[in-house]
Amino acid sequence: MSEPRRRLRVAILGSTGSVGASTLEVVARHPERFEVFGLTSHRRVAELVEQCLSFKPRIAVLPDRAQAQAARQALAERGATATEVLEGPEALCQLARAPEVDAVMAAIVGAAGLPACLAAAAAGKRLLLANKEALVVGGGLFMRAVAEGGATLLPIDSEHSAIFQCLPEDRRTWKRRIDHLVLTASGGPFRQRAPDSLHGVTPQEAVAHPNWVMGRKISVDSASMMNKALEVIEARWLFDLEPAQVRVVIHPQSIIHSMVVCRDASVLAQLGTPDMRVPIAYGLSFPERIASGAPALDFTRLQGLSFEPVDERLFPGLALAWQALAAAPGTTAVLNAANEVAVEAFLQGTIRFTDIHSVNAHTLERVEPRLAADHGLGDLLDLDRRARVEAERVVHARAAGRH
């Protein structure tokens, strides 16, 4: 008889988000394999409290004292004593590196998730990375922290998980076999629009993704294809390739999640229904496979798979990925910061959808990274702040120009 295995203790950073909630769904299917050690949220106290009542984590984290107090009180009123509520950004890092934690799901949105990702990497955790912005900002520093900490980095972004599923072994052996990668993109809600018709689109239209239900920021990024730009940068780092080895094709059905084109012209692809529980389950169980809850593809009902090139007039932001990768180190962090500011301004109604690209392009032109070769997290956070200040300036200029 085999020994009962110890359950994997999981911390989910950003548990109240779309990826966070899907992670809890997969975890809940396998109570014999997984135990929730920590949950975190940036707002939504009531939702975090409900998650704590269901999953009884040891630790919950909220960003400030007021929200933490509200959560403590709500938990006490419901007689829940299992969970200690911590507050502030440092508590995220503390949770990510806690010795009791085996696996960290990084599902925070934006550069805000970088310090905790680095803490998990340095502590040698199994690091499930959904938070692509953290890798776009962290770049080589992030990958060095993973290598030096002995962490196992498992991509959760569906495209990168697809590539990883095609090449599950040691990354040193991948490089010899790969000619290039093809990241698939759905094209989002505006794929069939005329380029000059996009200036008037509303946040509501932009977040209505045809194939995936996701958080607001990534949904806007999908509509502008800045999401794919971030994913090109993410792939460059995850798979240690030249930027020109990462290519993009539009595949509106989101059935092929991405492809590896080998040196011999053989193409490996991973297919499935568009459901984040699949890459999440793979990250949690790698190298095994467990039930994810997602329905399998029914090939008898598939209407066909189609592909088309990206129209650069419709999606001018995509090219910024290769531009930023070719520029000085740190330029991808500038691009990410500008885009975070621009998307928020668009969601707030301050700028137009088409202004997102001009904020990004202008900020890239104006902010020089000036990173030393041995830069650390503090230098990246400074650069992120400088880029945000410049992007805010462009946002205000754009907003003023509209009136």
- Contacting residues toward ligand NAD, per CB under 6 A: 14-20, 41-43, 107-110, 112, 130-133, 157, 212, 214-215, 217-218, 276
Residue with tokens 């994810």: 292
- Chosen from ligand NAD, Mg ion, none, partner binding at 375 (C-beta under 5 to 8 Å by type): none
| Separation CA 326–CA 310 (nearest Å) | 20
Stretch that binds Mg ion, among 78-86, 159-167, 184-192, 354-362 (CB under 5 A): 159-167
**Minimum CB distance to ligand NAD, residue 294 (Å):** 12
CB 403 within 8 A of CB 350: no
Give me the count of residues in the chain.
403
Q: Closest by alpha carbon to 209, among 234, 195, 191?
A: 191
15 vs 360, which CB is nearer to ligand NAD?
Answer: 15
Q: What is the 3-state secondary structure (H, E, C) of 77-140?
A: HCCCCCCEEEECHHHHHHHHHCCCCCEEEECCCCHHHHHHHHHHHHCCCEEEECCHHHHHHHHH
17 vs 398, which CB is nearer to ligand NAD?
Answer: 17
157: contact with Mg ion by CB under 5 A: yes
Phi/psi of residue 37, each to 5°? -95, -35
- Chosen from Mg ion, ligand NAD, none, partner binding at 186 (C-beta under 5 to 8 Å by type): none
**Minimum CB distance to ligand NAD, residue 110 (Å):** 6
- Chosen from ligand NAD, Mg ion, none, partner binding at 42 (C-beta under 5 to 8 Å by type): ligand NAD
| Separation CA 58–CA 98 (nearest Å) | 11
**Minimum CB distance to ligand NAD, residue 16 (Å):** 4
**Minimum CB distance to Mg ion, residue 222 (Å):** 8
Cα 338–chain centre separation: 17
Stretch that binds Mg ion, among 155-163, 234-242, 244-252, 289-297 (CB under 5 A): 155-163
Supply the DSSP string of 46-62, one letter for each residue.
HHHHHHHHHH--SEEEE
- Chosen from Mg ion, ligand NAD, none, partner binding at 212 (C-beta under 5 to 8 Å by type): ligand NAD
- Chosen from Mg ion, ligand NAD, none, partner binding at 384 (C-beta under 5 to 8 Å by type): none
Q: Which residue is nearest to ligand NAD (CB)?
A: 17
Contact positions toward Mg ion, by CB under 5 A?
Answer: 157-159
